[in-house]
Amino acid sequence: VLSSSLPRLVREFVAQNNTSQIKHVIQILSQEFALSQHPHSRKGGLIGLAACSIALGKDSGLYLKELIEPVLTCFNDADSRLRYYACEALYNIVKVARGSVLPHFNVLFDGLSKLAADPDPNVKSGSELLDRLLKDIVTESNQFDLVGFIPLLRERIYSNNQYARQFIISWILVLESVPDINLLDYLPEILDGLFQILGDNSKEIRKMCEVALGEFLKEIKKNPSSVKFAEMANILVIHCQAADDLIQLTAMCWMREFIQLAGRVMLPYSSGILTAVLPCLSYDDRKKNIKEVANVCNQSLMKLVIPEDDEMDEAKQSMTLPAEPTSEESLSKPEAASSGESLPPRCGRSELNITALNQPLSFPCSSERIQVTLNLDGIVQVLDCHLHDTSIGMMTRIAVLKWLYHLYIKTPRKMFRHTDSLFPILLRTLSDESDEVILKDLEVLAEIASSPAGQTEGHGPSDGSDVRPGPVELHVPARAGQLSSFGTKGLECSPSTPTMNSYFYKFMINLLKRFSSERKLLETRGAFIIR
């Protein structure tokens, strides 16, 4: 009865423009049939709603809410046959309505994402047909509400079910391919979830996710000025420390591109980046690819530190941005927002900085130098932590010492505030097993001992406790023979200079004490160190 007389009845109501009767028919089909307690009635209701939609034709768009809701309710039916009929009914409703269903896209997507993981193969097959139809409609339309969809996508992307993950990635790939949809703007919302899916056990899903991430990275390289680098920096820091090699390598490749494309915008995140990158420098050949990319990240990040970082007025740097800065303010003061803080520096894995993810700030990429804060305290804390960690590899220790040397060269005034705390571990590092580590360590110590930033007002040696950066100039000796062999920048420094940097004396006294207390060090490395 439903399949034969119902369409004729509905068409008559349409011809008469009798909307109240049409709504009444749909209501009966919904309440008394589709939502009935009896399975056969529910099946009849679903068939009836689909037939009603077909009879309505283009006018079905006026009644979509009433048509769709009872069908979606049947998606949760305990009977797999009913779930299949619900898929079939919704397919016919959507096929007739086409673009008119887009205002209801979120509820359709929500229902489909659940059916994608349905245990019944017939239901899954039916949902895939409906899914393809919906994708075709979205692809050919310019009415898609991306803003309204993102919260649902962000929630569903954390599903652990393989089929649901496959469903999510397939939709991301479709949305990426539509020219009128700019998914890149919302990448910070879903990037973490994408990296989670990249660790899936299914090779097919991992490959799909790799493709999606690759497309995003291509888009980032093409349009760096519109990328929200700062909002994604901490996400990458987390996944650069992943135990899964594919996740770690992919995140490290993204980090490399971010540092090179965004430049100094990445500086506030330096301590987190170093926490992730430094351990990778000691990887063996089994993780050669990760090691090589990490090395590029490390070198590129080091180049971002400039002498001007030593001169910036820190009082100005601590100003707080309003919650929604203008683009001009974003460019001039990105460092002040809480999203501009790096992950807490620590040895081991960093934890995700939720504040940084929840406060969107766009940092336009520009050839002009962007004034950002160099969080020197955080960087030194990470470097110090790695030097104290006896389990780290030789290449990591060398990289740490290169960083310290670089910072003493580029930002000596600020670095000397940390010298008293760094000095003991630098002295202990002279006992390292590697000659190369000792040489780098001596370079740092020589730079400390000969830097004008380490001069004190007093004369002669001191214990270094009252050392302050000051403007005192060195007295250059007249004869070349008096030049000290310490360091590359402080060659003018001589033990006979009245305003000699006190760290030279502090170093020599401590070195002699170590030789006295550690005879093995004196015997095995004494000549090497002194030379």
Taking only the tens place, the pLDDT of each residue in 71-80 is 999 999 999 9
Query: Same domain, yes or no, for 120 and 165?
Result: no
**Residue finishing a domain among 160, 193, 226:** 226
Query: Same domain, yes or no, for 87 and 44?
Result: yes
> What range does the domain containing 43 cover?
1-142
**Residue finishing a domain among 193, 226, 259:** 226
Whether residue 18 is contained in a domain is answered as yes
Alpha helices in 335-433 (DSSP H): 354-358, 376-388, 394-410, 412-415, 419-428
Whether residue 114 is contained in a domain is answered as yes
CA angle 209, 215, 218 (to 5 degrees): 140
CATH, residue 53: 1.25.10.10
Q: Is it the case that residue 338 has pLDDT exceeding 50?
A: no
Query: Same domain, yes or no, for 4 and 130?
Result: yes
CA angle 488, 458, 430 (to 5 degrees): 40
pLDDT in tens, 251-295: 999 999 999 999 999 999 999 999 999 999 999 999 999 999 999
Whether residue 318 is contained in a domain is answered as no
Whether residue 335 is contained in a domain is answered as no
Query: Same domain, yes or no, for 178 and 98?
Result: no
Q: What is the pLDDT, as a whole number, of residue 321?
A: 36
What Cα–Cα distance (Å) separates residue 369 from each residue in 104, 147, 224, 327, 413?
46, 32, 15, 15, 22
Query: Same domain, yes or no, for 112 and 213?
Result: no
Q: Assign residue 363 a region (left: φ > 0; alpha: ψ between -120 and 50; beta: otherwise).
A: beta
**SS3 state at 5:** helix
Nearest Cα neighbor of 301 from 386, 422, 397, 403 is: 403
Query: Same domain, yes or no, for 136 and 157?
Result: no
Query: Same domain, yes or no, for 132 and 11?
Result: yes
Q: How far apart are CA 209 and CA 215, in angstroms?
A: 10
**Residue finishing a domain among 184, 199, 226:** 226
Helix 245-262 to helix 270-277 angle, to the nearest 10 degrees? 140
Whether residue 14 is contained in a domain is answered as yes
CATH, residue 214: 1.25.10
Query: Same domain, yes or no, for 89 and 213?
Result: no
Query: Same domain, yes or no, for 121 and 8?
Result: yes
Domain count, the chain: 2
Q: What is the pLDDT, as a whole number, of residue 69?
A: 97
Tell me how long the chain is.
Answer: 531
Query: Same domain, yes or no, for 171 and 213?
Result: yes
Query: Same domain, yes or no, for 206 and 96?
Result: no
Q: How far apart are CA 348 and CA 276, in angstroms?
A: 8
pLDDT in tens, 89-140: 999 999 999 999 999 999 999 999 999 999 999 999 999 999 999 999 999 9
pLDDT in tens, 344-398: 444 655 444 433 333 333 334 433 445 688 899 999 999 999 999 989 999 999 9
pLDDT in tens, 132-155: 999 999 999 989 999 999 999 999
Whether residue 479 is contained in a domain is answered as no
Nearest Cα neighbor of 93 from 136, 135, 58 is: 58
Q: Which residues contact 70 (CB under 8 A, 6 or more apart)?
A: 29, 30, 34, 35, 45, 49
Whether residue 333 is contained in a domain is answered as no
Handedness of CA 261, 264, 266, 270 (dihedral sign): positive
